[in-house]
Structure 1
Amino acid sequence: MSLAFVLLYGVVGFGVAAFAAFVGSIRALQVYFDPDADSYFLDEDHDPPEFE
């Protein structure tokens, strides 16, 4: 019975992680193909960051 619970939690955890990866990749593609979308990683500024 405990093996069934371990497998169930594993399947549910894998499903949540797979869904999060899917949603993240869809969001990244939306930002990449939409030039007006804001993104921290796709910035037009190529200057190095300034440290105080």
Structure 2
Amino acid sequence: MQGTSVILVYEDFSLFVSAQYAFYFLSYLASEFFDLKTDTPAYMCRYMLSP
């Protein structure tokens, strides 16, 4: 039973991390597409993803 709960937590954590990376990638694409002078969304994502 303990192993199953650990696997479920691991799956939730990996999904959360991949969602953060997807948000960072989308913000990076948006900043490149619109040629924005500010890098605030990508900077915030880098700060969130940094250990």
Pair in the same fold by TM > 0.5: yes
Q: Percent of pairs identical after alignment?
A: 12
Distance (whole Å) between structure 2 residues aligned to residue 10 and residue 26 of structure 1: 24
Greater C-alpha radius of gyration: 1
Matched, 1:15 2:15: yes
Q: CA deviation at 1:37?
A: 4.6
Q: How many residues align?
A: 40
Structure 1 segments (4+ residues) deviating >6 Å: none
Letter paired with 1:20: Q
Q: Which structure has more helix as a fraction of its residues?
A: 2
Distance (whole Å) between structure 1 residues aligned to residue 34 and residue 22 of structure 2: 18
SS in structure 1 at match of 2:35: coil
Over the aligned positions, Cα root-mean-square deviation in angstroms equals 1.5
TM-score normalised over the length of structure 2: 0.69
Structure 2, unaligned runs of 5 or more = 41-51
Distance (whole Å) between structure 2 residues aligned to residue 39 and residue 33 of structure 1: 12
